[in-house]
């Protein structure tokens, strides 16, 4: 069985849009009195090429590697470190890297020289939390050379009408978690799903979020049920 793992080359970020308002990185850091706006390279920076004593890579071949989950891979403060991160992805072509960004408008400034039509072992997810960000970010995303593209509507904050999303493999959607979570409406999800069906794109309802609105009722859903409740809806494509 191929298991997933994580690689967090740098930590810290700056809020740039509505989807960042309740960013879990800030929430987590605040518990330790840490300023999330300070961006630092982590001790795990070189994890993909680190080896065990017996010479094997610490991350075994074939894994899906969730990359940069407490920052944004295209963050400007990480410009100096990104070339080395790309290099590690190039070396570990036996792994598949996936990262999600709210800064797809920086992609042209961030790609390595040998990127071509996109490294085949890298999936990039473009976050689109509302219609405004859909209209702003997707034109950059859809025209960018990326081998594997997904759209991440999480936290979903409004109904979204997508443009033609040729080349996109999947749309992932879900509500917002945590205290003060903003509502996610079931009909917004169904609207996205219908568009995915029409465009022959995969759709995954990942989690309900903490405040879910369905048929005019507001449901407060505990954290441990948010994924299972979404699964029960049975609306994945």
Chain residues in the site for ligand SF4 (CB under 6 A): 13, 15, 19-20, 23, 25, 71-72, 102
Nearest to 136 by CA among 37, 18, 13: 18
Q: 130-168 burial, b for 16+ CB within 10 Å, e for fewer?
A: beebbeebbeebbebebbbbbbbbbbbbbebebeebeeb
Of 102 and 182, CB closest to ligand SF4: 102
CB of 141 to ligand SF4, least distance (A): 15
CB of 109 to ligand SF4, least distance (A): 16
CB of 179 to ligand SF4, least distance (A): 16
Of 63 and 103, CB closest to ligand SF4: 103
Of 69 and 219, CB closest to ligand SF4: 69
Enter the tokens of residue 61.
Answer: 């071949």
CB of 217 to ligand SF4, least distance (A): 28
Of 124 and 201, CB closest to ligand SF4: 124
Cα–Cα distance, 11 to 14 (Å, whole number): 11
Of 100 and 146, CB closest to ligand SF4: 100
C-beta neighbour count of 83 within 10 angstroms: 11
CB-based contacts of 214, cutoff 8 Å, min separation 6: 185, 186
CB of 81 to ligand SF4, least distance (A): 16
């Amino acid at each position: 069985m191929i298991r997933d793992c994580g690689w967090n080359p740098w930590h810290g970020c700056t809020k740039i849009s509505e989807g960042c308002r309740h960013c879990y990185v800030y929430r987590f850091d605040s518990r330790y009195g840490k300023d999330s706006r300070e961006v630092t390279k982590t001790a795990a920076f070189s994890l993909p090429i680190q080896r065990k004593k017996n010479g094997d890579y610490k991350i075994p071949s074939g894994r899906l590697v969730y990359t940069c989950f407490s920052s944004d891979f295209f963050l400007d403060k990480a410009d100096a470190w990104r070339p080395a991160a790309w290099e590690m992805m190039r070396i570990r072509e036996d792994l598949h890297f996936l990262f999600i960004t709210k800064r797809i408008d920086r992609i042209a400034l961030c790609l390595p020289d040998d990127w071509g039509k996109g490294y085949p072992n890298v999936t990039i997810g473009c976050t689109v939390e509302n219609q405004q960000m859909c209209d702003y970010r997707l034109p950059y995303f859809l025209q960018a050379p990326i081998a594997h593209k997904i759209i991440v509507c999480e936290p979903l904050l409004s109904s979204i009408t997508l443009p033609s999303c040729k080349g996109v493999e999947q749309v992932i959607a879900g509500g917002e978690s945590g205290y003060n979570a903003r509502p996610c409406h079931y009909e917004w999800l169904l609207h996205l799903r219908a568009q995915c069906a029409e465009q022959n794109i995969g759709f995954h309802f990942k989690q309900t979020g903490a405040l879910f609105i369905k048929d005019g009722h507001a449901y407060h859903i505990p954290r441990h049920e948010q994924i299972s409740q979404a699964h029960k809806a049975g609306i994945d494509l």
